[in-house]
Amino acid sequence: MIPQQEPDFNLNHLKLYYGKLFPFADLVRWVSYGNDGKHPGCDQSYIGRREFSFTLENDIYLRFQSFHNALELENSIKEKTPVKIDIGPVYTVDPAKRNAYAQSGDNNVFAPVERELIFDIDMSDYDDVRYCCSGADVCLVCWPLMTIAIKVIDTALRDDFGFKHILWVYSGRRGVHCWVCDGKARRLTNEQRGAIADYFRVYKGNENSHKKVSLMGAALHPFLATSYTNVLKNYFEKNLLTGQNLLATEERYEKILDMIPDESIASELRGRWQDSRRSSSAKEDINVVRWEQCKQLLQSGKHKAQGLRRCIEEIVFCFTYPRLDMEVSKHMNHLLKAPFCVHPKTGRVCVPIDPKRCEEFDPTTVPTLSQLIEELNYEGSRADADGESNRTSLGNAITLFRSSFLQPLLKACKEEIENSYNLKLQQSKNSLGW
Amino acid sequence: MEIVRPQNRRNLLSSSNEAVSAPTIPLYRSAPPLEVRLEDFESFAIDRLRVLKGISDGMSRGKKAEEMENLVKDLWKVNMRHQEATQVLNKDIISHFVLRLVYCRTEDLRKWFLSMESALFRYRFRLLNAEAQRTVMEEFDLPYRAVSNVEFESIKEKLGQVARSMGQPSPTADAIFYKVPFEEVPELVAGRRVFINQGYAYVAMNQIVSLVATQFRSQLSKALILTNRKWTSSIREQEKHRLTPIVEALSSSYLGPDYSQSREYADISLKDIDQVAKSSFPLCMRHLFDKLKEDHHLKHGGRMQLGLFLKGVGLNLDDALAFWRSEFSKKVGLEKFEKQYAYNIRHNYGKEGKRTDYTPYSCQKIISSTPGAGDHHGCPYRHFSEENLRAALSGMGVNSQAMEDVMDKVRNRHYQLACTLTFEALHGMPCDAGINHPNQYFSDSQKILKPKVAYSLQLVIQTNTC
C-alpha cells in the first residue's frame, strides 16, 4: 500500500515545486497545439480560450481561469499555489470573460468547441474483483488491472480509431488518466465521444443486477477478441488468478460459480472444491488447479451448448476488462487534472506513463514532493540553478513527456496548420481568379 | 378548434396507403413556398405531433427496432394521410416546418424534437425498398464508395466476426460495404456493430440507415438553431397576433409538465421525508433513498437522480443540504461533505456554475441511463436482476398476484407499465395516465393519500360538532 504520509505534502514544498520544477513551458506548448508559433495560420486566440481551473487549499475552487502564454500561467500558479490544477475545454470565447458575453443575450456564444478525448480509470471501480486492498488504496498486486486497461484502450485507440497522440498519466493515487490529443479527437462531438466510450464498455452490471459481463452472439467482436487473446487471458491466468487468489476460498470461488449459468456444472465444481483433501496436492497453486478444472468442464465437448460457450470468456472479462468512468469521456466540458500535479493525499507527482512499457510502471516508486525537495536541496548545494528538474528524479518523467508525446504531437500540429493554411490560400486564390 | 371532421374520416380511410409507401422521404431542406391555411397550419402540426408522441412512448417502453418500425408505420398511416392524395407530401412538409418553429425555442424542446424526428426518419427509411433507399442516399450526396473486392478479401474474416457477434451470417463476396469515418456512424460504433480499423468503420448495406439518419439529424440540428435565431429576431414579433399564440400553445400541450418547480404538494419538510419516501416514492427513488440511509453514500448518478427528484418534490435547498449532509457526514465526515458534495447540491438548484435550474429526470432518461459498478441509479424494472426486483417489490408491499403482472411487463420491457402496475397495486387505485415521470408518480400518490387525511380530519371535525 502507498502510505499516506502527511509529510509528503505541504504547501511550502509545493511552492518550491512550482517555483523550480513544474514544467510550465511544456504544458502550455502542449495545449497550444502549435498555435503559439509565428506561422500566419496560427490561431493566436487559441490558448486564451482554454479553461484552467485551480483548487486552492481549503477547497476553494477557481474555475474559468485563462492565460495567454506560459508566463501568465506560471505567475498565477506561483502566486496562488493551487493544490490541484485542472484543464478544461477550449471555448468559443475567453472563459474568463464569459459573463460579459452572457449579457449580450445569446446563450450560445459561450460554448466548448474543442477538448481532448479523455478517459479516467479508477481502481476503486474494481473493488468487487480485487482482494488486496479497496477504495483509494492500490498496491503492486492490483496495479496490473491498470496495466491491462492501458494496454487494451491504448491499442484500440491507435489500431481501431487511428489516433496517434495519446498521453497516459498516473493520477497520483489510484488510477490513470488518458488524453487523446489528435486534432480529430479534440473536435469530436459529445455524441461521438459517447459512442467511443460505449464501444469500450463491456461491463454492464450495476450493484443490483446479476451478471456483470454478458457476451452474446456466436463470436466476439474483433476488438474484444483481440483484447482477449492478446491481453486479458494472459493477465488473468498468469497474474491475477494467483495474485488475487481468485479461487482460493469458498467465498471467492462462489462468486465465480455464480457466473456459470448451468447449475449442474457449478455444483459439480463446488463438490470438488469443497473436498479440500483431494485438491491439496500442495505442489501446484490451488487457484490454477481449480481454474483448469473449471475450464475443462465448461469447454469439454458435451457442454459446448448454448450459453456456456462464452462463460470462460465472461469470467475473464469480468475480472480483467477495463472499467471506464463513462461520464468523464462523454462530455466536452469535463475537467481533468493536469499532468505533473502533485496529489495532495499521497504527495506523488502525476507523471506520464509510457504505454509501450506500462507493465514496468510502479506506482510505489513515483517521485513524491518531499523526495523531490530533498533532491533539490542536495543539488542546490553544489550546482547552478539551470534546468533543475533534470537532476531530480522528475527528469525522466519530463524527458518521457517530451520525447514520446510532445515532440511528435507538435510536429503533426505544425503540418496541420500549414496544410490548412495553404488550402485556404489556394481556395481564396481560386475564387479570385474565377 | 375542430381538428379532423368526423365526416372526413371515412374518406381518409378509403384513400390510398401511399403515405407510408411513398416513393421517397422529403429531407426538409428548405421551407416550402406553399400557401397554408391557418387551420391546416395547426391541424397538420397536431397530427404530426401525435406521431412523434407515439414514437416517444414506444421508445420509452424499450421497443425493439422491428416493433418500432411497425409502430411508426401505423402511426403514420393513421395520422398523416390526407383526403387528397396530392396533398399528402405537402402535409408532411408543412407539418414538419410548423413543428420546427414550435420546437426550436429552447434547448429541451429542440432535443426532444430532434430525437423524435430522427427516429421517424429512420423508421420511414427502413420501410423504403432498396431502390428508394438508394435515391434518398443520393440526395444526401454522401461521398462514400463501396469497398473494393481486394479490400473486402483482406478484411473478410473481421467482417464475419462482427456479423456473427450480432447473430448474423458472415457476409458473402457480393455483399456491399461502405468505408466511412467512424465519426459518421456513432450508433454503430457504440453498439460495436461495425468493424473499425484506422479510423474507418465498415458499414454494411443493411446498416446504411445509420449513416443517413446521422446526416439527417445533424442537418436538422443545425437548422433548428437557425430557426431559433429567426424566431427570436423576427418571426415572434411579426406574427404576434397570428402564429405566435398557436406556436406557443403547441409545444406545451404535448411535452408534459417538467416538474422543475413543484406546485401542488410543495414543501415537504425534512421530518416528513422518511414517511413520504415509504408511501409515495417510486421504486427507483425508494431504492436510492434506502441505499443512502444504509450506506450513507451514493455515487454521482444516484445523487443526481435522487437529488433532482427531491427538488421536484419540493425539498428546498437548505433542507436538501441538511438531508444530504446528515447522511454523507456519517461516512465521509462533515468537512469532506462541505468540500466535495455541497457544491453539487447547490449546483442542482442553480446556485453554482452555469446557474441552470436543472429539471428532475423523466422515466425515459432514467430508463436509458447506464448504471455501472457501485451504482444504484437507473430504473429498477430495467436494471435489476429478476431476483433483486422481486425482493425490492415485496419489500414495498406488492402482493404475489400483482408481482407476477409486474414481472410480466418487465419481461416484455414495458418498464413504465410495470411501474404503473406497482403504483396501482400499492394504492389500490387505477392510474389511467400511466407513469411517465418519477415526480408524477409522487404527486399522483400524494393526491390519493393526502385527500384521505383531509377527509378523515373533516370527519373528526364533523363528529365533534355533532
What's the angle, vertex CA A329, arms to CA B381 and CA A24, rounded to 5? 155
- Residue B324: left (phi > 0), alpha (psi -120 to 50), or beta? alpha
Q: pLDDT > 90: what percent of chain A?
A: 71
Domain for residue B263, yes or no? no
Provide ipTM, 2 decimals.
0.91
A223 and B353: CB-CB below 8 Å? no
Residues B165 and B57 in one domain: no
Same domain for B43 and B24: yes
To the nearest whole percent, how much of chain B has pLDDT over 70? 86
| Cα B362 from chain centre | 8
Q: How far is A219 from chain B (nearest CA, A)?
A: 4
Is A218 in Cβ contact with B373 (below 8 Å)? Answer: no
Closest Cα of chain A to B74: distance in Å?
Answer: 30
Is A345 within the bounds of a domain?
Answer: yes
Count of A–B CB contacts within 8 Å?
A: 119
SS3 B465: helix
pLDDT attached to residue A210: 62
Task: Sort out which chain B residues have CB atoms less than 8 A from A198's CB and list them.
Answer: 189-191
Are residues A282 and A332 both part of a single domain? no
Query: Are residue A176 and residue A302 in the same domain, yes or no?
Result: no
Q: What is the pLDDT of residue A105?
A: 54
Sort A387 into a burial class: Cβ within 10 Å, 0-12 / 13-18 / 19+: exposed
A215 falls within a domain:
no
Q: What is the mean pLDDT of residues A310-328?
A: 92
- Cell digits of residue A246: 481468485
Residues B85 and B154 occupy one common structural domain: no
Q: Do A225 and B190 touch (CB under 8 A)?
A: no
Nearest to A49 by CA among A95, A86, A88, A87: A95
Tell me whether residue A154 is one of the annotated catalytic residues: no
Report if residue A143 sits inside a domain: no
Choose among B339, B353, B383: nearest Cβ to A206: B383
Band the pLDDT of B274: cuts 50, 70, 90: confident
Listed in sequence order, the residues at least 6 apart from B301 whose beta carbon sits closer than 8 Å to its beta carbon are: A327, B369, B371, B375, B377, B378
φ and ψ at residue B383, rounded to 5 degrees:
-100, -10
The answer to whether residue A79 scores a pLDDT higher than 60 is yes
The CATH number of the domain holding residue A65 is 3.90.920.10
Rounded to the nearest angstrom, the minimum Cα separation between A60 and chain B is 8
Task: Write the CA distances from A15 to A9, A11, A279, integer angstroms.
Answer: 11, 6, 59
pLDDT value at A186 more than 70: yes
pLDDT for residue B121: 96
Lowest mean pLDDT among A6-10, A105-109, B87-91: A105-109
Of A108, A207, A224, the CB nearest to B374: A207
Q: Is B104 part of any known ligand binding site?
A: no
User: Residues A191, A276: one domain?
Assistant: no
Number of domains in chain B: 3
Torsion A30-A32-A37-A39 (CA) sign = positive
Q: Are residues A182 and A70 in the same domain?
A: yes
CB contact under 8 A, A128 and B165: no
Residues of B with CB under 8 A from a CB of A: 158, 160-162, 164-167, 182-183, 186-187, 189-192, 195-200, 225, 287, 300-301, 338-340, 343, 353, 370-376, 378, 380, 383-385, 387-388
Examine residue A139 and state whether it is found in any structural domain, yes or no: no
Range B132-153 average pLDDT: 87
At residue A67 the predicted structure's pLDDT band, cuts being 50, 70 and 90, is very high
What does each C-alpha distance from B212 to A277, B94, B118, B138 come to in angstroms?
A: 64, 22, 10, 10
User: Is there a domain that residue A140 lies in?
Assistant: no
Q: Quick one: pLDDT at residue A335?
A: 95
Domain interval for residue A185: 6-120+165-198+325-425
Q: In A, residues 30-59, which contact B (CB 8 Å cutoff)?
A: 59
**Residue B247 sits in the same domain as residue B110:** yes
In the block, which residue shows the cell 461521438? A192
B338 and B309 share a domain?
A: yes
* Distance of residue B317 Cα from the nearest chain A Cα, in angstroms: 21
Produce one character per residue of A245-263: b if its CB has 16 or more CB atoms within 10 Å, e if not. bbbbeeeebebbbebbeee
pLDDT of B21 reads 45
- Same domain membership, residue B224 and residue B207: no
Question: Nearest CA to CA, how far is B78 from chain A (Å)?
Answer: 33
Task: Decide if pLDDT at B277 tops 60.
Answer: yes
**Do B375 and A128 make contact, defined as CB atoms within 8 angstroms?**
no
With beta carbons less than 8 A apart as the criterion, state whether B46 and B37 touch. no
Residues A73 and A189 in one domain: yes
| B1: in domain | no
Measure in Å the smallest separation between the Cα of B181 and chain A Cα atoms. 9
Q: Are residues B164 and B146 in the same domain?
A: yes
Percent of chain A whose pLDDT exceeds 70: 88
Q: Are residues B197 and B241 in the same domain?
A: no
Substitution target in B115, B156, B162, B182 with the highest count of A β-carbons within 10 Å is B182
Q: Measured between CB atoms, which of A61, A189, A203 is closest to B373?
A: A203
* Mean pLDDT rounded to a whole number for chain A: 89
Are A208 and B353 in contact (CB < 8 Å)?
no
Does the structure show a pLDDT above 90 at A8? no
How does residue B269 score in pLDDT terms, banded at 50, 70 and 90?
A: confident
CB contact under 8 A, A208 and B380: yes
Cα(B397)–Cα(A73) distance, integer angstroms: 60
A313, A332: one domain: no
Full residue range of the structural domain in which residue B122 is found: 6-138+215-255
Residue A336 identity: L
Q: How far apart are CA A88 and CA A106, in angstroms?
A: 22
Judge whether A254 is closer than 8 Å to chain B, CB to CB.
no
Confidence band of A192 (pLDDT split at 50, 70, 90): very high
Q: Compute the average pLDDT of residues A156-170.
A: 98
Lowest pLDDT segment from A63-67, A104-108, A368-372, B449-453: A104-108
Instruction: For A198-218, write each residue's pLDDT tens digit.
Output: 999 987 766 666 667 777 778
CA distance A199 to B183: 12
Q: Are residues B289 and B381 in the same domain?
A: yes
Does B419 carry a binding-site annotation? yes
Domain presence at residue A433: no
Indicate if A74 belongs to the active site: no
Q: Do A344 and A248 fall into the same domain?
A: no
Q: What is the pLDDT of residues A216-263, one digit of tens each?
A: 778 899 999 999 999 999 999 999 999 999 999 999 999 999 888 888
Count of domains for chain A: 2
User: Is there a contact between A222 and B287 if contact means CB atoms under 8 Å apart?
Assistant: no
Give tens-digit pLDDT for A268-302: 999 999 876 554 556 789 999 999 999 988 887 56
Task: Based on the fold, state whether residues A308 and A414 are members of the same structural domain.
Answer: no
B431 is in an annotated binding site: no
In this structure, the answer to whether residues B50 and B110 fall within a common structural domain is: yes
Residues in Cβ contact with A330 at an 8 Å cutoff, skipping those fewer than 6 apart = A190, A193, A194, A197
pLDDT higher than threshold 70 for residue A168: yes
- Please report, as a single letter, which amino acid is at residue B110: R
CA distance B109 to B361: 15
Establish if B261 belongs to a structural domain: no
Catalytic residue among A86, A120, A154, A314: A120
Q: How far apart are CA A346 and CA B168, in angstroms?
A: 51
Q: Amino acid identity of A5?
A: Q
Strands A112-114 vs A60-65: parallel, antiparallel or unpaired: unpaired
Q: Which of A303, A320, A337 is the last residue of a domain?
A: A320
Shared domain for A57 and A183, answered yes or no, is yes
User: Does residue A9 carry a pLDDT above 90?
Assistant: no
Residue B257 has pLDDT above 70, yes or no: no
Whether A192 contacts chain B with CB within 8 A: yes
| Cell representation of residue A173 | 493515487
8 A C-beta contact, residue B373 and residue A206: yes
Q: Where are the beta strands (DSSP E) in B320-436?
A: none
On whether residue A127 sits in a domain, the answer given is no
- Band (pLDDT 50/70/90 cuts) for residue B13 is very low
Q: Considering only A205-214, B331-340, B406-415, which range has the smallest mean pLDDT?
A: A205-214
DSSP letter for B35, please: -
**pLDDT tens digits for range A362-420:** 999 999 999 999 998 887 655 554 556 667 889 999 999 999 999 999 999 999 999 99
Residue A66 located in a structural domain: yes
DSSP state of B435: -
Looking at the structure, do residues A67 and A193 belong to the same domain, yes or no?
A: yes
Q: A8, A74, A94, A122: which is the annotated catalytic residue?
A: A122
Q: Which of B162, B190, B387 sits opposite A194 (nearest CB)?
A: B190
Give me chain B's average pLDDT, please.
83
**Residues B318 and B440 both lie in one domain:** yes
Q: Find the angle CA(B70)-CA(B73)-CA(B76) to the nearest 5 degrees.
A: 145
CB contact set of A376 (below 8 Å; sequence gap of 6+): A16, A20, A21, A388, A392
Collect all residues of chain B within an 8 Å Cβ-Cβ radius of residue A161. 182, 196, 199
Q: Are B208 and B322 found together in one domain?
A: no
Residues 207-236 of A with CB under 8 A from B: 207-212, 216-225
Q: What is the pLDDT of residue B10?
A: 34
- How many Cα atoms are found within 13 Å in the side-chain-facing hemisphere of B77? 14
Is A222's CB within 8 Å of B162's CB?
yes
A51 catalytic residue (yes or no): yes
The most confident of the ranges B27-36, B305-314, B457-466 is: B305-314
- Cα B93 to chain centroid distance, Å, stands at 24
Which chain A residues have a beta carbon less than 8 Å from that of B339?
A: 59
